[in-house]
Amino acid sequence: MRRVSILYGLIILLIQPTVDAQKIEGITWTTRHSAPVVDIFPEHPELKKVMSFGLSHLTEPALMQIAGAGAAPLFGLPSDSAQELQHILTKKYQEVANDPLFVTAPSALAYCFRQTHLPQGYATLYAPKRIGSSTPTIVFLHGFGGSFLAYLHTLIKASPDAMIICPAYGISSGPRIPSLYLTECLSAVRDQYPMLNTRPTLIGISAGGFAGFHEYIGNEEHYAQYICLAAYPKAFGSSDPIKQANKESKIRILVGDEESFRHDLRVKASMIELRRNAPHTEVKTIAKHGHFFLWSAEKETVQILKDWLGKD
């Protein structure tokens, strides 16, 4: 009887559709929901020159290392944050540049910073070594500045066996990203990898973290969980994720202990209300780190993400 069971298991394993991959690619789809064109450069002409040249002639790691301290406006940061950002970006993008998997990885930045509207969506996609019906899926919403390869590089460390989908939505996924845009993105990925059959974990960072709450709350049946990085739940228009969260919501929030909003009494009150409405909410902090803890405290952040992704 035991032999029959083992044989049956082997047969199921053999007939299960799988793909041998591990690559990073860009995918596109036709859409009416792409991000509006926004020019963030009028006040930063020198950065505009660097970005315009770099987007056409350089790889993303080379461009971001050259941009250095001047890249602060790309992240919506004041100039006094430039030195810290320069150190973090240089170190991180040196690592990205030296990773064989990223040598030919396409950058989404040219799409994010385009100056003409396109009826086309774009996402950067990481396909793991083996893809089957049980392969975990992650959808990642980027912050202000565009969809950087550095985000994906860190996410792969946290979940190397997952299909990781990074939709590019102009220069910012926040404060909201159209649900239809994400639905179209997932549909395009599943057209290419029809064996995928798991509910994705939604992850959002910074501006994408705010947007992720509005996407997740009310759509819990479509996602395994929501992980928010460097942001918190905040009402936008008629959408209030704090009041609309419920016992079915599975929310995890990770922030830097030195984030300015950590000391805002209104944010503290909203977090109390969120936990009351959504008892599965879990909150953790990264001690002695600020907004860029994803890279400045990467090892600790990756371990927390591994733990959370293992609970979906």
Cα(70)–Cα(220) distance, integer angstroms: 39
Residue 158 belongs to a domain = yes
Residue 86 belongs to a domain = no
Place of tokens 């733990």: 307
pLDDT of residue 94: 94
φ, ψ at 108 (rounded to 5°): -90, -5
Banded pLDDT at 78 (limits 50, 70, 90): low
Whole-prediction pTM: 0.90
What is the chain's alpha carbon radius of gyration, rounded to the nearest angstrom?
20
Would the pLDDT of 77 be above 80? no
Cα(140)–Cα(21) distance, integer angstroms: 20
| CA distances (Å), origin 204, targets 180, 232, 276 | 17, 10, 22
CATH code of 268's domain: 3.40.50.1820
Would the pLDDT of 72 be above 70? no
pLDDT of residue 179: 97
pLDDT of residue 8: 46
Residue 87 belongs to a domain = no
Q: Percentage of the chain with pLDDT > 70?
A: 85
Mean of pLDDT values over 82-94: 82
pLDDT of residue 51: 75
Place of tokens 């990205």: 96
Cα(185)–Cα(55) distance, integer angstroms: 24
Residue 99 belongs to a domain = no
Cα(73)–Cα(217) distance, integer angstroms: 30
Cα(205)–Cα(132) distance, integer angstroms: 28
Cβ neighbors of 269 (< 8 A, separation 6 or more) are none
Helices (H) and strands (E) in the chain, counts: 12, 10
Stated as kind and residue range, the H or E segment containing 103 is: none
Cα(181)–Cα(3) distance, integer angstroms: 49
Residue 44 belongs to a domain = no
Residue 259 belongs to a domain = yes
pLDDT digits (tens, 9 = 90+) for 96-115: 999 999 999 999 999 998 88
Residue 8 belongs to a domain = no
Domain count, the chain: 1
Residue 78 belongs to a domain = no
Mean of pLDDT values over 151-178: 96
Q: Does residue 67 or residue 172 have the better pLDDT? A: 172
pLDDT of residue 18: 67
pLDDT digits (tens, 9 = 90+) for 232-269: 999 998 899 999 999 999 999 999 999 989 989 989 99
Mean of pLDDT values over 208-218: 97
Task: Give the HSE-up count for residue 139: Cα atoms under 13 Å, Cβ half-sphere.
Answer: 31
Q: Closest by alpha carbon to 213, among 183, 174, 247?
A: 174
Domain residues for the domain of 254 are: 17-38+106-309
Place of tokens 């990085």: 229
Give the DSSP per-residue string, 141-175. Answer: E--TT---HHHHHHHHHH-TTSEEEEEE-TT---S
Q: Closest by alpha carbon to 135, among 279, 16, 273, 230?
A: 16
Q: Give me the chain's average pLDDT, please.
A: 88
